[in-house]
Amino acid sequence: MNFFEHQAAARRTTSRLMVLFVLAVLCIVGMVDLVASLVSHSWRMLAFTTGVTLLTILFGSLYRIASLSGGGESVAQGMGGTLVPADTTDPALRRLRNVVEEISIASGVPVPKLYVLEHEAAINAFAAGFSPSDAVVAVTRGALDRLNRDELQGVIAHEFSHILNGDMRLNIRLIGVLFGILMIGVIGRKVLEYGRFGGGRDRGGGAIWVVALVALVIGYIGLFFGRMIKAGVSRSRERLADASAVQFTRQTVGLAGALKKIAGLEEGSRMQDRGNTEEVSHMLFGDGLGFSGLFATHPPLMERIQALEPGFRDAQLARLQADWRVSPPDGMQEDMALGLTTTETTRLPHASSEIRVLPTQVSAQVAMPAADDYQRADAIATALPDALRDLARGRDSVMPLLLAMLLVDDAHTQGLQRQAVVSALGSEVAEYALRIHQQLTADLHPALRLPLASLAFPVLRQRPRPALDTFLACVQAVIHADGHVGLFEYCLGKLLDVHVREALDPSRYARFGRRKPGNVRDEFATLLAVVAQAGNADASAAKRAYLAGLQRILPRDHLPYAPPAQGVLALEQVWAPLDALDPLAKQVMVEAITEAISSDGRVNVAEAELLRTICAVLHCPLPAMLAQVGANAAVPTVE
């Protein structure tokens, strides 16, 4: 399946989850009513117990969902995770961040925040959040210590597939839904604990104790259904994530090696914090609880290993277990022995490079990076000057850096932009941004501009909300300082706005669309007209590009070419309706946009930036390059 088919499948899974939830609730209500009927034959009593049970389950689910509205960070912090600083000098954490940044560039999503579960010696990891903009990737200390770079890369790639395929929002909603099912049992357990430690000894204490015990028993019924639902939803998606990780990393050795270490080491993937692990077990890379059979949230380890290495047998695993009992593996030492401390580099294309692309190839690349994408991501990451990477990771330098990327060389316009920065953030930030702009002009390849911005997003999102609101307003003031909005200015400004605002309020943007192309004809026409106008100076060529794109998505409609007077700013009216499209309709939309951009037979870096921005805003992340027709070469679309 491609990305859009994965999204459609995730939407169907969400619907199936709600059906299973309703069935579980009906079973729990039925059990409560059965107990109530044994005590009283009054229909009023049955109605009362039914209402209380339903309200309890509903309240529990809504409460837990609300508590997770902060997105991935709330899950990672609830598991006891420690944030990995962007400028860390710890070799293991630096290796983790480098791997994550490379895969982010290759897949076209913002760099997620990183957490480490320092208290967990097992090998495990998870990705959490509502969307790529608020995603968090957490790994255990055991994964950092035991896995070499290739193996860590395989685990992280597995987690990125959950980010890209819509699994995260499904997983985080599953936590909320299942908490409601377990709410009756939670109440019963709390009442029993209160009674044990000093309460419940009055005349009604015995009755309360019996009610609590019954609630606890019924809670175990909810736990049974909860585990069944998690297992049914999770197993197939774990298999797909393994397959995607292999595609990401270009080899099976890394992921298979990580799974072998889980199977061969005593700690395995079982987590120490079983209370919190129960809630997030369906999100983990490996089984964190040790369940099997109907309750297993993951396929058996040997099945997963043999899917990657068909010839691997139990006897080989036994030998590894014996060796590791004597000398447990050390991931960093293995890196040095295997020569994995450095990555192969590739030259970036010339700044004026142009290529030919096919719309179907581009749509197939959305959230599905292949070997060439990862190779180019390595090249981009290596080509970024260290001094600029340090600026992107610095709390005090990240805002001046992003503003510097928006400054122009024209003296008059730059003066207006400087005034806008001074008004919003002060003269010190304005002067810092001007100095960085000179550095960017001298040192930065055009294809590296948006990848550099992507590295800055996690640090930027750590600032307080009022500071971010002020910064985003300043960005818009700088972009509009001279009354003209250029293509790159709009692209960077829009990506900043989308990624920051979604990270501030992640649950608001978590949805699967259902609209069809016929319901957004005017929005399609505006989008294609802007794309055609931006890529063609000649009006007749722009019209041909527009009609080529329209023919692909709305072949029966006759919408005249009417380029909007406000240029790229006209896109502000189309984002919400187009983002609400059905996943499979988005696939056709990406192909139509590509058709319009490439109608003249070539795509340059500026056009690729626009395509990349459109896809990012509409939650269809493109890898860091476009596949070229008839060749393995590609040009970065840039992040």
Compute the distance between CA of residue 421 and CA of residue 465 in angstroms, rounded to an integer. 18
Alpha helix ranges (H) inside 294-426:
301-308, 314-326, 331-338, 359-365, 371-383, 386-393, 398-404, 411-425
Q: Is 630 left (phi over 0), alpha (psi -120 to 50) or beta?
A: left
Give, in degrees to the nearest 5, the angle at Cα 463 between 459 and 465. Answer: 135
In angstroms, rounded to a whole number, what is the distance separating the alpha carbons of residues 137 and 114?
Answer: 5
Using CA atoms, how far apart are residues 494 and 515, in angstroms rounded to an integer? 23
What is the C-alpha separation between 203 and 246, in angstroms, rounded?
64
**Strand-pair partners of 562:** none
Tokens of 634: 């590609």
Tell me how far apart the alpha carbons of residues 285 and 135 are, in angstroms, rounded to a whole number: 16
How far apart are the C-alpha atoms of 396 and 400, rounded to whole Å?
Answer: 8
Please confirm, yes or no, whether 159 is among the known catalytic residues.
yes
Q: What whole-number distance in Å separates Cα of residue 87 and Cα of residue 208? A: 55
Of residues 427, 389, 421, the one with CA closest to residue 406: 421
Distance CA 61, CA 573 (A): 35
Active-site residue (options: 102, 159, 279, 489): 159
> What is the 3-state secondary structure of 304-321?
HHHHHCCCCCHHHHHHHH
∠ Cα 491 493 496 (to 5°): 105
Q: What three-state secondary structure class fits 369? A: coil
In sequence order, the 6+-apart residues with CB closer than 8 A to the CB of 155 are: 123, 125, 139, 143, 147, 245, 255, 258, 285
Catalytically active residues are: 159
